[in-house]
């Protein structure tokens, strides 16, 4: 599976390429700016996922994003913007243009793996198998079901919790709550749900689509619960 990394900074580009290469069986392509990335796409390169730096000469990440999403050949290509700054206004604009995610440098290996798992087409299930989760955490199916049930209840009540916190002017607490839910999803083998919640937490709150992402995370937890029940002793 091909992944395209676009960054004019060679060190950052090589670091991200190394993370991707170490995460699985990926064919990693590279471009030094948005213009070169566009030439590769237009010439026939068909990556399953694209990581792109925000600020670059000739064609910036935002400009490349707008061009990609406006072209029917590439509109469905998962596109993750990368930046050295957590600029909430820029993040919101990127999401509005159709970005599938936003990563702030320095790179977090878990977040990179989460995007690879959840957004890359043909990359298999975005969820970790219950067997792998149990082995990683050193628990059995009964314990995993207990943890999943607790997370599902937290997600189900998160909309009301966020509304209460925001109504009290506690935006930072609301953002921290979303981040804790994202960490819970990642811990229990749901990197896609974790990445989506982390992206929302980085936007100004209340962020459009937050309830949708919470519902999607609930669905992922319920799906994982069903898969785990088949492994639990009767």
Query: Tell me, what's the pLDDT at 29?
Result: 95
Q: Percent of the chain having pLDDT more than 70?
A: 94
Do residues 8 and 113 both lie within one domain? yes
Structural domain includes residue 234: no
Structural domain includes residue 85: yes
Split into its structural domains, the chain has a count of: 2
Structural domain includes residue 28: yes
The parts of the chain modelled with pLDDT lower than 70 are 86-88, 117-126, 208, 234
Do residues 139 and 108 both lie within one domain? no
Query: Tell me, what's the pLDDT at 122?
Result: 46
Query: Tell me, what's the pLDDT at 137?
Result: 94
Do residues 41 and 9 both lie within one domain? yes
Do residues 10 and 115 both lie within one domain? yes
Do residues 148 and 94 both lie within one domain? no
Q: Does pTM top 0.75 for this prediction?
A: no
Range of the domain at 52: 2-119
* Cα-based distances in Å from 163 to 118, 177, 179, 204, 210: 28, 12, 16, 14, 11
Structural domain includes residue 202: yes
Query: Tell me, what's the pLDDT at 118?
Result: 66
User: What are the residues whose beta carbons fall under 8 Å from the beta carbon of 156, sequence distance 6 or more?
Assistant: 218
Q: 103, 87 in Cβ contact below 8 A?
A: no
Do residues 113 and 167 both lie within one domain? no
Query: Tell me, what's the pLDDT at 132?
Result: 87
């Amino acid at each position: 599976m091909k992944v395209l990394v676009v960054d004019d900074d060679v060190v950052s580009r090589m670091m991200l390429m190394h993370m991707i290469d170490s995460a699985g069986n990926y064919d990693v392509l590279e471009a030094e700016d948005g213009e070169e990335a566009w030439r590769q796409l237009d010439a026939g390169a068909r990556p399953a996922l694209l990581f792109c730096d925000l600020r670059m000469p000739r064609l910036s990440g935002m400009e490349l994003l707008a061009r990609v999403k406006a072209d029917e050949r590439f509109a469905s290509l998962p596109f993750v913007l990368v930046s050295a700054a957590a600029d909430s206004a820029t993040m919101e604009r990127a999401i509005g243009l159709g970005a599938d995610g936003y990563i702030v440098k320095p790179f977090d290996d878990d977040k990179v793996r989460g995007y690879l798992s959840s957004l890359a087409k043909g990359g298999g299930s975005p969820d970790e198998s219950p067997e792998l989760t149990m082995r990683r955490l050193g628990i059995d199916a009964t314990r995993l079901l207990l943890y999943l049930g607790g997370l599902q209840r937290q997600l189900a009540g998160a909309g009301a919790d966020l509304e209460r916190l925001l109504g009290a002017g506690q935006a930072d607490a609301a953002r921290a709550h979303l981040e804790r839910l994202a960490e819970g999803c990642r811990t229990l083998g749901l990197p896609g749900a974790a990445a989506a919640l982390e992206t929302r937490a980085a936007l100004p709150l209340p962020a459009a689509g937050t309830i949708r992402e919470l519902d999607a995370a609930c669905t992922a937890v319920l799906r994982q619960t069903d898969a785990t029940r088949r492994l639990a002793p009767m």
